[in-house]
């Protein structure tokens, strides 16, 4: 039996997580395994109920399950709260508490969606790369930090073990792909980036079958939109990974298409990379594919069932090939379908 904690969160989170739960239920019937899904509030939804974004009960549940499924967090309703009480702070906290040090973000362009990309079809066709973003170190967590009336300051710090473990994961993943890793840094300007580069190259000695190259982050941003097919596995720091994975999201057609996995030694959390989209929340318009694809990553990385992950990706591909589009991936003039219709179609293809 697989025990999954669902934390739908805010905005469109409950809608897209409901779609992912439908997929999980279909798979459990098809493959005759049991799943237990336990739902808990998180983010603004939790604050409205309990006065805090992340309760101890939710955190403990996340620590005592096989995988966590997150929808989205945040919205205008909670923006005026003190920084340490905002939904985004709760997201950083849960990552830290679960020791989720690696964020995996695939950037895959489906053939059926070549026209949805902001880039030319011949540029993005065949794009399929994986970003490993370090998640618990770097400038988001470094000290000292703060601001006064005249200046603001943050500190970007990396310990050796933080770089080693994310680099090792990236090299291991590359062995199952095209055996190429590009490490992204800013070593020509930042000492912390030179340290990052040195450690990555030391770890690479244990993976002589993998081709390693380095790229400055500004060049990487340009290269992702110039020739995304050149990338296979990217490994980079927290800040750079945050920016580059969003760039990658746009070339695939929509952030609504991109899943992610945040992995640690004991725990793993799966979520779409998009936000809570409060402008369409509750309207049954959200694209559930990123959340459903996050379930595919769950089966691959947490449950070691890559075959089921492949089934999910194939069901998504077949659904898109049939012409169904939510508003975010539709071309002008195309008919669009709701969150539930898109989900139902994917579930049907899974059952076929």
Q: Are 269 and 91 in contact (CB under 8 A)?
A: no
Catalytic residue among 2, 186, 285, 328: 186
DSSP E strands, 198-348? 211-216, 233-236, 259-263, 268-272
d(CA 330, CA 296): 23
The string of DSSP codes covering 138-199 is: GGGT-SS-EE-SS-EE------HHHHHHHHHHHHHHHHTTTSEEEEEE-TTT-HHHHHHHHH
d(CA 242, CA 156): 14
Let me know if 110 is a catalytic residue. Answer: no
80: Cα separation from own chain's centroid: 26
Let me know if 111 is a catalytic residue. Answer: no
Burial 93-122 (b: 16+ CB within 10 A, else e): ebbeebebbbbbbbbbbbebbbebbebeee
Let me know if 266 is a catalytic residue. Answer: no
Catalytic residue among 2, 47, 110, 140: 140
Q: Are 249 and 255 in contact (CB under 8 A)?
A: yes
Query: Phi/psi zone of residue 349: left (φ > 0), alpha (ψ -120 to 50 degrees), beta?
Result: alpha
Residue 36 β-bridge partners? 3
Catalytic residue among 10, 185, 232, 242: 242
Let me know if 186 is a catalytic residue. Answer: yes
Let me know if 300 is a catalytic residue. Answer: no
Location of structure tokens 């070691």 = 304
Report the catalytic residues: 140, 186, 218, 242, 246
């Amino acid at each position: 039996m697989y025990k999954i904690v669902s934390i739908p969160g805010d905005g469109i989170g409950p809608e897209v997580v409901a779609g992912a739960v439908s997929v999980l239920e279909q798979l459990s019937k098809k493959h005759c395994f049991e799943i237990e899904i336990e739902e808990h509030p998180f983010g603004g939804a939790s604050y409205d109920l309990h006065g805090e974004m992340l309760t101890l009960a939710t955190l403990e549940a996340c620590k005592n399950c096989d995988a966590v499924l997150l929808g989205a967090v945040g919205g205008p309703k909670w923006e005026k709260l003190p920084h340490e009480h905002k939904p985004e702070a709760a997201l950083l906290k849960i990552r830290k508490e679960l020791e989720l040090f690696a964020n995996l973000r695939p950037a895959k362009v489906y053939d059926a969606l070549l026209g949805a990309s902001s880039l030319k079809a011949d540029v993005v066709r065949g794009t399929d790369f994986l970003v490993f973003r370090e998640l618990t170190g770097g400038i988001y967590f470094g000290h000292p930090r703060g601001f006064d009336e005249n200046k603001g300051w943050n500190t970007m710090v990396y310990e050796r073990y933080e770089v080693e473990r994310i680099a090792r994961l990236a090299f291991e993943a590359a062995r199952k792909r095209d055996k190429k890793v590009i490490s992204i840094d800013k070593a020509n300007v930042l000492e912390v980036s030179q340290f990052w580069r040195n450690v990555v190259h030391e770890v690479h000695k244990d993976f002589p079958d993998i081709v390693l190259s380095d790229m400055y982050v500004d060049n990487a941003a340009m290269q992702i939109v110039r020739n995304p097919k050149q990338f296979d596995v990217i490994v980079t720091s927290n800040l750079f990974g945050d920016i580059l994975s969003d760039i990658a999201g746009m070339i695939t057609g929509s952030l609504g298409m991109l899943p992610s996995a945040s992995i640690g030694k004991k725990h793993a959390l799966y979520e779409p990379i998009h936000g809570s989209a409060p402008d369409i929340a509750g309207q049954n318009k959200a694209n559930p594919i990123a959340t459903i694809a996050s379930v595919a990553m769950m089966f691959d990385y947490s449950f070691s069932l890559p075959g089921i992950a492949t089934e999910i990706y194939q069901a998504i591909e077949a659904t898109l090939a049939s012409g169904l589009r939510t508003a975010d991936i539709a071309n002008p003039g195309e008919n669009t379908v709701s969150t539930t219709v898109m989900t139902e179609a994917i579930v049907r293809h899974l059952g076929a």
